[in-house]
Amino acid sequence: MAANVTPQGCGPNLDSLYYNLCDKSAVWGIVLEAFAGAGIVFSFVLFISLLASIPFTQDKNRKTSIPLDAFFLVCTAGLFCLTFTFIVGKDFSTCGSRRFLFGVLFGGCFACLLMQSVRLNFLARQNSGPPTWALCLGALGLWLVEVVINTEWLIITVVRHPLRPMNATDGSRAAATTCNIANEDFVMALIYVMTLILAVVVASLVVMGGKHNQWKKDAACIFLTSFLSVGIWVAWIVMYVYGNMKTGGPSWDDPTLAIALVANAWVFLIVYTIPEICCLTDEEENQQGFGEDLYPNRGVGYETILKEQSSQNMFMENKAFSMDEPNQGSKPVSPYSGYTGQLRSSVYQPTELALITKAVGNHPPDTSFDMVIPRASTNSAADSRSSTPSTHAAESAHTQTNGNSGNGLHRTSQW
């Protein structure tokens, strides 16, 4: 293309094949380029996040889906990259990539979704899914069928029976032999992919009939993804086969396919991939919550506080009960050693003798809980003169000291 017809926004030395990437008059190319570039970066971030979650995933039923999710993300990133072949102009390489990779990448995505639906059907009914190698082989087999179909179709139409240009005046269609394909033939080559889409819709709906409800959320995400994909495919097929010929002509073919690629790829990321990775994270949080139940001191819940208070109250009651009983195995001490005037460090139950002495201004006798204090009795005065002094003698001596007169010990009433 001559330099004087270079579109606005593109450099003068840029090849005409890439004008749609910078042409300001063709805004659809710039917008789709931005969405496709963001999708590639976002797919890479999700892929790294998925791989990083492998060591922290404890549930083996969750681990079986990680290889399928990884391959699904690779195919989704390929869809974003394939969008650029529809934005740039047509030549042998771009047209060949369009015809071959369009069905292959979509076939890989829907093959992974179909095997995920099969896995969820087993989990919803038996709570145990098939092994990882079986799921990977199943997805690989479904994907290879589309690879074989596209390879055979490309060889037949390009090598053995090349088609004539659909429109001799359209230079873009006559640029290369691989671009000489009718829109109806392009759609017919994707019948197997459409079959996979319908199979995913049916298989994800069957999961809802299982008895284990924790797996139905994953099946709902797959069903919503496949349902939105059906809507996108119906829209672009109708526009590509019928709408473009009546409205915009062949110039609308590339924008139609590019929009379908970007829209369906973003549906894959937002509706399915992000919730799938979040399920792995939720599973890890549940494991942490279970670990915290094993250590109540680490929680601050209301039930934990009640448990701690009840255990402390039980300990205090047991301790008070043990303090109330004297230790029979302790070393006997003199009863006079307890009258030191110090405060008692144990639970004290006052007797009548202690109340009387407190009333006259003296402090109650202070003894530790391991000291045996003899009880006062109503024995005779002769018994009170025994070799071992008693509490009754101590009381009589205290009475005489306060001014009471009498011969010998003064008897006072006991309880």
What are 394's two structure tokens?
A: 């101590």
The answer to whether residues 288 and 253 touch, using CB atoms and an 8 Å cutoff, is no
The secondary structure of 311-340, three-state, reads HHHHHHHHHHHHHHCCCCCCCCCCHHHHEC
Q: Which amino acid is at 84?
A: F
Instruction: Find the DSSP H helices in 20-91.
Output: 27-52, 60-63, 66-87
What are 359's two structure tokens?
A: 């009333």
Q: Report which of 158, 143, 43 is spatially closest to residue 97, judged by C-alpha positions.
A: 158
Report the predicted TM-score, pTM, of the whole model to 2 decimal places. Answer: 0.65
DSSP 210: S
pLDDT at residue 340, as a whole number: 53
User: In sequence order, what are the residues at sequence separation of 6 or more whose Cβ sits closer than 8 angstroms to the Cβ of residue 267?
Assistant: 225, 228, 229, 232
The answer to whether residues 186 and 99 touch, using CB atoms and an 8 Å cutoff, is yes
pLDDT at residue 199, as a whole number: 95
Residues in a beta bridge with 389: none
Q: Report which of 101, 192, 110, 187 is spatially closest to residue 146, judged by C-alpha positions.
A: 192
Q: Report which of 182, 220, 199 is spatially closest to residue 146, judged by C-alpha positions.
A: 199
Distance separating alpha carbons of residues 101 and 104, to the nearest angstrom: 5
pLDDT at residue 104, as a whole number: 95
Q: Which domains are delineated in the chain? A: 8-288 (1.20.1070.10), 335-401 (no CATH)
pLDDT at residue 358, as a whole number: 62
The per-residue pLDDT string of the chain (415 residues; one tens digit each, 9 = 90 and over) reads: 444 577 777 877 888 788 888 877 778 888 999 999 999 999 999 999 999 988 888 888 888 889 999 999 999 999 999 999 999 888 888 888 888 999 999 999 999 999 999 999 999 888 887 888 999 999 999 999 999 999 998 888 877 656 555 444 444 444 446 677 888 989 999 999 999 999 999 999 999 887 888 888 889 999 999 999 999 999 999 999 988 877 767 788 889 999 999 999 999 999 999 999 988 866 544 444 344 344 444 444 555 555 555 555 554 555 544 455 455 544 555 555 554 554 444 455 566 666 676 655 554 444 444 444 555 545 444 444 444 444 444 444 344 444 444 444 444 444 4
* DSSP per residue, 282-316: HHHHHHHHHHHHH-GGG---HHHHHHHHHHHHHHH
pLDDT at residue 80, as a whole number: 96
For the beta carbon of residue 339, count every other beta carbon within 10 angstroms: 14
Distance separating alpha carbons of residues 96 and 91, to the nearest angstrom: 8
Distance separating alpha carbons of residues 320 and 349, to the nearest angstrom: 11
For the beta carbon of residue 287, count every other beta carbon within 10 angstroms: 13
